[in-house]
Amino acid sequence: MPKAFLRLATAVKRVGIQYTEDMGTTLPGYMDSTRVLGQNLKSSQPGFGYIFGYQPDTNWINRFGSKGLLSNDTLVSAMIQQRYNQRLNLTAQVSPFRDFNIDINLDKSFDKNYSELYKDTSWTDNVGLTRLNPYAAGSFNVSYIAFQTLFEKFDPNVISATFKQFEANRIILSRRLAGLNPNHTTATGGGQDADGYFKGYGRYSQDVVIPAFIAAYTKRDPFTVNLIKNSNPNLRANPFSGIIPKPNWTVTYNGLSRVSGMDKIFTNFTLRHGYHSTFSMNSFNTALLFTDPFRVGYPYFRDTLTGNFIPYFLIPNLTIQEAFDPLIAVDMTFTNQLSVSFEYRKSRQLSLSLIDYQLAENHSKEITFNFNWRRKGVPLIKKLPFMKGKMDNDVTIRIDFSLRDDATANSKLDQGTSFGTAGQKVIRIAPSIDYVINNRVSMKFYFEQNRNIPKISNAFPITNTRGGVQVRISLAQQ
For residue 48, being part of any structural domain is answered with yes
For residue 339, being part of any structural domain is answered with no
Q: Which of 441, 70, 140 is nearest to 313 (CA)?
A: 140
Same domain, 215 and 308: yes
3-state helix, strand and coil shares in percent for the chain, rounded to the nearest 5:
15, 45, 40
Range of the domain at 315: 14-25+73-323
For residue 38, being part of any structural domain is answered with yes
3-state secondary structure of 462: strand
Neighbours of 321 (CB within 10 A): 17
Q: What is the pLDDT of residue 183?
A: 94
Neighbours of 438 (CB within 10 A): 17
Distance CA 377, CA 396 (A): 11
Distance CA 163, CA 209 (A): 12
Same domain, 116 and 232: yes
Same domain, 313 and 369: no
Same domain, 275 and 371: no
Same domain, 227 and 312: yes
What's the pLDDT tens digit per position in 282-299?
A: 999 999 999 999 999 999
Q: What is the pLDDT of residue 175?
A: 97
* CA Rg value for the chain: 32
Q: Which of 308, 84, 102 is nearest to 210 (CA)?
A: 308
For residue 79, being part of any structural domain is answered with yes
> Residue 191, by phi and psi: left (phi above 0), alpha (psi -120 to 50) or beta?
left
Same domain, 290 and 367: no
Same domain, 292 and 398: no
Same domain, 36 and 86: no
User: Which of 304, 323, 342 is the endpoint of a domain?
Assistant: 323
Q: What is the pLDDT of residue 209?
A: 98
Distance CA 333, CA 277 (A): 31
At residue 392, what are phi and psi to the nearest 5 degrees? -75, -40
- Contact status, residue 245 vs residue 239, Cβ threshold 8 Å: no
For residue 344, being part of any structural domain is answered with no
Same domain, 269 and 229: yes
Same domain, 167 and 284: yes
For residue 1, being part of any structural domain is answered with no
Q: What is the pLDDT of residue 378?
A: 66
3-state secondary structure of 140: strand
For residue 8, being part of any structural domain is answered with no
Domains in the chain, number: 3
Distance CA 68, CA 27 (A): 13
Distance CA 328, CA 418 (A): 31
- Contact status, residue 22 vs residue 102, Cβ threshold 8 Å: no
For residue 345, being part of any structural domain is answered with no
Q: What is the pLDDT of residue 402?
A: 98
Tell me the three-class secondary structure of 409-454, residue by residue. Answer: EEEECCCCCEEEEEEEEEEEEEEEEEEECCCCEEEEEEEEEEEEEE
Same domain, 132 and 226: yes
Mean pLDDT of the chain, nearest integer: 91
Q: What is the pLDDT of residue 342?
A: 98
- Contact status, residue 208 vs residue 169, Cβ threshold 8 Å: no
Judging by beta carbons within 10 Å of its beta carbon (0-12, 13-18, 19+), is residue 377 exposed, middle or buried? Answer: exposed
Same domain, 277 and 302: yes
Where the chain has pLDDT below 70, the residues are 1-10, 377-392, 476-478
